[in-house]
Amino acid sequence: MAKKIAATATPPIYGRVREILEAARSNIARTVNTTQVIANWLIGREIVEEEQKGKRRAGYGAKLLADLSEQLGRDYGRGYSVDNLEAFRQFYLEYPGLISETASRNLDFPAISETPSRKSDEPDSARAWQPGMLNPNLSWSHYRQLLRVSRQQARGFYEIEAANGGWTVRELSRQMGSLLFDRVAKSRDKAGLLRLASHGQELVRPIDAFKDPLVLEFLDLPESPRLVESRLEQALIGNLQTFLMELGKGFAFVSRQERITLDGDHFYIDLVFYHTVLKCFVLIDLKVGKLTHADLGQIQFYVNYYDRERRTEGDNPTIGLILCPDKNDAVVKYTLGEQQERNIFTSRYQLYLPTVEELEDELRRELRFLAPTEGKATAPRSKKPTSKKKGAGT
């Protein structure tokens, strides 16, 4: 009989976790999402600390989670499976500075706008939010997605962009799946990568506003030589909100098929946007075949016209962008010259999600183009097996 009582005795950790959950339930003055994030982090801390106490006991961690899951399930219902408890544990380990390590054991939850880790006499600039700290714009579902990113720099980038951009969990998942960090980070030096991880995407030069390639898998169009520009344009307009998200911050739609008339001849600009950060018009020309020098001349004509006839006081010089499935960078370089860095740009688009291997191949190709005389100036080839899963290697 004594053995049976000992086997069912409640361990101290269960009481501490129960207090966390009871405090979370009564904390009605806080938002549900932020309270859940804090509660899950605190539970993760309890699990890690308990594991460290018994780390010399074989299999202790697995048994701890199984026993805790069973007890919590009886009292609180679904949501505390072993997998979820393991996620709480990982959350604490990956985000050790989310809230103060000295968060009191009496479980007075930190205010949303002022977490314990920010209560200090430091100047405001030193206390500004940074990746890894609690952010009220990110729910537990956001953090579950972020935990799938193994690279610290990439995770910091996605955390900033999701918080600042108000991304839904679905949008965060898509941007991770389309390897947004790798596309934005392509060809940047070490300092540039560190800034992406700590500040997110910054728009200082016109070239910073564009990604190469753009991923348009949401159009659900097949890759086919029979694809025509009118169908591509219609699909983009039909998915305008998602297209704007893929273009990035600052783009505002103005018009489609805008007509230019010169001496009785009519010309049509496929898509016109205004960039609210760069303060300029952005003209987009769509191509379904390989880019030619004639296409570059056409976008240059559109840009010159807009600068002379449509640009108003306060507007910066107009930018032109050609979206195409394929291009010859040497043709672009010798046709545009200095304008390639100033106001005319080209980006590929692809109608499916890329893999890490595809982006690495693209980076090697760009490095060879940028440094043709340096035969060894190429990115190292990944030794990971090829994977076609969405977001592989994030």
Segments making up each domain of the chain, as ranges? 2-110, 143-202+356-380+389-394, 206-354
Q: How do residues 55-111 score in pLDDT, each as one tens digit? A: 656 567 788 898 899 999 888 888 889 999 999 999 999 999 998 655 545 455 555
Q: Which residue has the higher pLDDT, 186 or 201?
A: 201
User: Could you give the C-alpha distances from 322 to 3, 68, 188, 211, in angstroms and in order?
Assistant: 76, 57, 22, 12
**Average pLDDT of the residues in 189-213:** 82
Burial 274-284 (b: 16+ CB within 10 A, else e): ebeebebbbbb
Mean pLDDT for the stretch of residues 145-166:
92
DSSP three-state, residue 146: helix
CA dihedral sign of residues 83, 141, 248, 270? positive
Task: Name the β-bridge partners of 269.
Answer: 258
- Phi first, then psi, for residue 239 (nearest 5°) are -120, 40
CATH class of 206-354: alpha beta
Q: Are 131 and 156 in contact (CB under 8 A)?
A: yes
List, as one string, the DSSP characters of 233-272. HHHHHHTHHHHHHHH-TTEEEEEEEEEEEETTEEEEEEEE
| Residue 245, Cβ density class (10 Å: 0-12 exposed, 13-18 middle, ≥19 buried) | middle
The residue that leads in pLDDT, 24 or 48, is: 48
What is the distance in angstroms between the CA of the first residue and the CA of the last residue of the chain? 53
Entry pTM: 0.68
